[in-house]
Structures are given as C-alpha cells and as structure tokens.
Structure 1
C-alpha cells in the first residue's frame, strides 16, 4: 500500500488562522488546526487551502512545522457572507489545482475537505489528481433545518443539493459521532461502508483544572460568585438567548442569587447574528439582567481556558451541535456542563455524571436544571470530578491516529477499485 506523505486539507470558508468565536470561525477551525498539527507530528506534510480574507496575508504561511496555510485569492477579501461563497468556488478550485500543478506529479496522496463548500472543491481536486477524497461535514443543512431557532434563517436548497453531491463524490466520510453517522446514512443516503466515526478531541495541556480563585481574580470576578458561562459564536443556532431567558427565570425563582450571579458571554456575532449585533445586549436590558451579564470578545484558547476555570457551570444551549467542543473543553477544565440534549452533545456530556442534558429549550426548564448544580457545591463538585473523567475519553492524538487510519482505508479502497 502506498505511504501517505502529503495531505491537501481544504477549508474554504474559514481559515485555521482565524480566531474561533466570531464570524464563521468556531469548532471546525480548532479541529482543522489540531488534526493538522498531529498529522505533521506523524511525518505527514499538510497543506491547508483556505480563502484569503486580507491582502496583507502572505500567499503561504507556516502554521507549525510540517503545516502550511495557503491563502487563495478568490473574490473580495471582505464582505462576502457564507451564502455568497458558492460564486467563488470555481476561482478557488482553479487556484488549488494551479498550486498542485506546480509540484511534481502525484504530490498529494489524499484530499481531506471540511464543510460542504470545501467538499465541492475537494471532489474536483480528487478527480484531477486521482487521489481519494475524505470529507468531514461538521454541520449538515438537513439537520440544521429540522431544528431551527426562532427567527433563524433556513439553510438554502443549494446547500442541501451540494451536500448530497459531496456525499456521493467522497471515497470516505468522517463523522464526529454515531448520531452524525446515522444522519449521513438516513438523510443523505451515504453508504454505511464509507462512513468512519472519529471523535474530535481536546488539548488537555491547555484545558485542565486550574485554580478557580486565581482565574476569577484575573478577570475581576468575586471569589464567591456563581458563574454561569456561555462561550461560542453569538447566533440563533447557539441559543445564547435561551441562557439569558433562563437567567431571568432563575432570578425569579431565587432572587437572592442576584448579588452573586455572574453570566459571562464569551464570543462575537456570527451567521444571522451579524444582522443584529446588539440584539443579545438589548435582550439582557429588556429582561432586567444586564447587571449580571458580561459580554466578552472572543479570546485565544489559553485565555478561554481561564474563563472556563473561573466558571461554576458552562451552558451549551445550542439547537444543534455536530460534536460540541465547548462542552468537552469545559469538562476537561473541571467544569460541569449544562447542555441541550441535541446532536453530539449527547455523546460529549454524560447526564448526571459530567453535567446535565436538557431535553427542551424552554427557559424555565433550563433554570430548573441550572439551579441545583449552581447552588449545591457538593453536587457541583461531584459533577466536576465526572467532567474531568469524561473529557479524558477525547484526545486529539487519538483523533489524528484514527483519521490517518481513515486515509489509509480510503487509499486501499481506491487501489482495490483500480485492480
């Protein structure tokens, strides 16, 4: 079997160099970076192709030893929404093919595309180079449209069609969880033999239990505070509004908590949330809870780890998550998670052991779930111990190793077809 030496990763709509937590940058960015780094540690050269969003970016930038980010000029640097990017796929694909054409024949051994836009380009590159296409969906239109937040915009039909085409074109599909694998098979007609389940991971050297008092002091949070944290992109899909409504309900149930309660919202507007960037702050005012809510811009991972350590609980009320990196990062930091019982969160969080799963998005239900874990320190400590144990199930080294095995399987399938 041919050895895998070089990998072309495609991440068209968001760059691994972008700060997660705002715009289109989120868990997928973390995933691409962490897997690429660890593949490079296994002596695989990784080129990540992404769309340039600034004229100041060098055409090729080194992410780490063995990993280079290739900033492809395709369309205007700023102002394009994700839904407008399909119009730039041909230009992007041409530049990807041109980059490979400058190399000796057979330069790349595998293409790994992330998100459906990248999958469209990856399918073309795979055909042109005669190498396998491995694809990770990360999110799926049919799943998102089945669980839309109030006021959110449905994913367009063009995306649904594009995803179906990518599923058909891929040699192998990598799913984050067993649930995502079933969705690929049931909703998109994927061949079960061409779906591999590979859990994402967490960097336990960054996200680990730290001194809570020090973390709070560094952020101006009182030592005796009850800290209910949200981290992520501010958009309807992530449902930070559910947390604010739940906070208002909690203060109705337990008004004496107001003097100790702190609710940091760490992240920036994204997706349809960009249309109303002040909506969440306005909601906090309308609910009369702006005195307990703090809005914090997106922060690097080491700083995010500090915010987790300062928290009593982390809330993940999303309407859908293919995995839920925030939940596993928080648990690795020794913080229990209260999460919606949707998507990959049902894999990441063990109800009653590492956190709590809430079956609805009703704010009162959320307030009732949050209240005992927030005020009962002994209960919270038990959940915190379970959270660390649960997070140890997920490691980026294991993710990279299993992803590499998927690449080898895709290569074997290609070689078998070639006879």
Structure 2
C-alpha cells in the first residue's frame, strides 16, 4: 500500500491544458497530464499548479476526477518568456504554498478511484511536492521547505546537457538555469530521470547522488496510439498509396531539427528522384531564435513535397503517425523522445538521432534506426534505406508496436509512486551513500 494520498505537481512555466507542439508546450505537457491521470486512477489526489496567463482562465479546472489544475497569479498577466520566469519564482512559490494551505482545510473531493466511499475521509493534505522543469524546481524548493514536505523533481531537460549538444544557431541555455538546476539537485529529496543515461548525466554534470535518483520511463497512451487502420489513416490525411511519407512532430526549433530533415530531403530529391518523397511537419515555432521552417522548405525547392501544419490533438497525431512510412526525430538533445515512442506504438518505424534518451526509446535495427549526428547525408541514407527495403520497414513497424506496449502510463505511475514513497522515507535523512 502506497503512503502518498495527495501530490502537488508544479508545472509553472507551461500548462498541461496547453496544446503540445508549439511555444513552450511539448512532451512535458503530455507527461504531466498523463501521469496525473494515472495517479488519480490509482487513488492519489493530484493538484497541478501552473502560472495564470490570462484573466479568462478559471482559478481551478477539473482535468478529470481526482485531478485539478490550479492557476496561480504571479507577475503580469499574459505570456512571459522563460528568460523572465526566474524573477517570478518567489511569487509563484508563495501563491502555490498559500493555496496548498487552503486545500489542507477543505473536504477531499470524491472520485471513484478513491475507494468504495467515493472519496477520502476528511481534509487530505499534500504529502509530496513534485516539480517539473527547473523553474518549477526552484519554486518547489521554497514550497517544500515552507510546508516541511519532501520534494521530488523531474528535470525533463538539463541546461548543461543541452549546451553540450548545442546546434549551430541555437542560443545557449543561460548560466542562471545551470545554477538553478545545481541547487535543485542538491535540495531535492528524490530526483526522477527518464533513462539510465539521464541518471548518469545528473551524476556527471550536477554531482547528483546515485542513491537519490530513480529511473522512471515516460509512457504512451496505448488507447490512442495503436497500430490500427493504416490505409484508412493515409486516405484521411490525403497520402497517396505510392507516396513515401515521412512525418515530423514537435516544436519547430533548431534543437528539434526539422531543418535536418529538409536538407536530407533536398539531397534525396537530387540523388534519388525515384523515391516519391512526401514530408509532413506538425508543430509551431518555439523560442526566440529566428527559425522559419516554411522559408527553409521553399529555399530547398520542396514546396510541392513538404507541408508545414499546426499542432494537432493526440487522436489526430496518431492518425498522422499511422499514415507515415516512417517518423523522423532529428533532435540534437532529447531526454527521452516521446514522439518516437508514440509513433512506434502506432506501428511506425522511427529514424532518430543517437543521442540522450532516444537509444532507450528506439531499439536500433529492430524498431527503427539511430543516426549518429545530424548530417544531412547520413539522414538521407537512413531514409533511403527504409524506402529500399519495405519488408524490413514493415517488420520494424510490427516490432515497434510490441516494443511500445511495455511503456504504458500505468507503469510510469507505479514507478513514480515508488519514488514518492522513498521521498517520505528519506525526507529528513539522506539515503546511505549520499
């Protein structure tokens, strides 16, 4: 029986209610949302805190029974750049702590997973603070200390790792973030890493204590992302039977690398005109870098080959994955690679950069291909190889769907609950070896 009954999740710089694929919304938004839903299904009440960006937002939005999203006020209304958010950390922490104190005096909500009675008896205070990304982690330190609670933190990405793999033209992560992440690693009761590789990076770059790091793989919604009706998906998305369709999904920025795919396609068009290539990019611009993918597509002479479309819902995204012959993930840095996992769950082979958590998300040679680096030549060769061997590609797709079945969100939630329990055990005493 797990000890935790209520969790406060901090996702202050981006809301789980936002559409992933543009701005600051991406895989982390999906992670927070899905993890919260699975924790509630297991009987844990979840309160998600995010910064209010509009007067029109309700104070509290019920995401699902047992899961509430609370909008806290800090700084000016409207969007604030991530570069400005650190200045608001004390305000955000104060607002979250005040709301948590208020909740501790209120009757607990009823929801089926809480048990036969439909709810938990009496007021239920928060047991654990779980922060996501460094800005929330800095606020989480203040909240956890002020309320005498353990802090569990998930980095999602790390400044020193991103700067190590910084693509040309991409602005480096600021020193204040590196310093903040160092403070979080030192202060958190438990740290959650997506992969063993990320755990090793926490140790190597931030002196993280191995005994305080829990490896928890992100999940995929297997009810939505599944290998069904591939021909119908192609027809619905207007993909001709003869097209060799490559899909990219994610934020349109240098770090995610859609331009790598454009350059590879330009090479293929010149050297392999026999490949009836079709590209679909799903996403929106993110960050302050000057990055116009539409212009890059036009300059490459691919206007009739590539389409740049806005982000879509999960159900539509699954259809796009199923309409693809392969999904490309040319990231320069990736803590895990949720897009790669979702695509594989749909039975589609993936070509991904051999970096970060992607070797964990993609089984090289079995469910897809890993490319060393982001050379347009190497990417063109990888894409061409999967075109030239269609049976291999189909075999990879079948293996991919089986591979993804072990990454259900219920497994992620179970492993996270184990981390929460450890945070209560070692709230005041460091685990042996730390």
Length-normalised TM-score, structure 2: 0.93
Tell me, yes or no, if structure 1 residue 272 matches structure 2 residue 288.
yes
Deviations 1:22-68 (A, max 9, x none): 11000001110111001101111100000112111100110000000
Report the counterpart of residue 261 of structure 1 in structure 2: 277
Tell me, yes or no, if structure 1 residue 156 matches structure 2 residue 169.
no
Q: Answer yes or no: is the 8 Å Cα contact 1:200–1:396 preserved in 2.
A: yes
Runs of 4+ in 1 over 6 A off after TM superposition: none
Give aligned pairs, total: 413
Report the counterpart of residue 114 of structure 1 in structure 2: 132
**Superposition CA RMSD, Å:** 1.5
Report the counterpart of residue 97 of structure 1 in structure 2: 97
Deviations 1:165-222 (A, max 9, x none): 0111100000000000000011100111000000001111100012222112212221
Offset at residue 417 of structure 1 (A): 6.9
Report the counterpart of residue 357 of structure 1 in structure 2: 370
Deviations 1:357-393 (A, max 9, x none): 0002110111011102023211111111121122123
Offset at residue 75 of structure 1 (A): 2.0
Report the counterpart of residue 300 of structure 2 in structure 1: 287
Q: Answer yes or no: is the 8 Å Cα contact 2:2–2:417 preserved in 1.
A: no
Once residues 2 and 339 of structure 1 are traced to their aligned partners in structure 2, the CA distance between those partners, rounded to angstroms, is 37
Once residues 290 and 149 of structure 1 are traced to their aligned partners in structure 2, the CA distance between those partners, rounded to angstroms, is 25
Tell me, yes or no, if structure 1 residue 177 matches structure 2 residue 190.
no
Q: Flag structure 2 segments of 5+ consecutive residues without an equivalent.
A: 106-123
Deviations 1:76-101 (A, max 9, x none): 23242111111111211111111122
Bigger mean CA offset, 260-269 vs 95-104: 95-104
More helix by share: 1
Q: Secondary structure at the match of 1:392?
A: helix
Q: Secondary structure at the match of 2:421?
A: helix
Length-normalised TM-score, structure 1: 0.96
Report the counterpart of residue 147 of structure 1 in structure 2: 165
Tell me, yes or no, if structure 1 residue 337 matches structure 2 residue 345.
no
Tell me, yes or no, if structure 1 residue 129 matches structure 2 residue 142.
no
1:161-310 correspondence runs (5 A): 161-257=179-275, 260-273=276-289, 275-276=290-291, 279-310=292-323
Q: Flag structure 1 segments of 5+ consecutive residues without an equivalent.
A: none
Q: Secondary structure at the match of 2:21?
A: coil
Bigger mean CA offset, 332-341 vs 106-115: 106-115
Once residues 236 and 160 of structure 1 are traced to their aligned partners in structure 2, the CA distance between those partners, rounded to angstroms, is 20
Q: Secondary structure at the match of 2:407?
A: coil
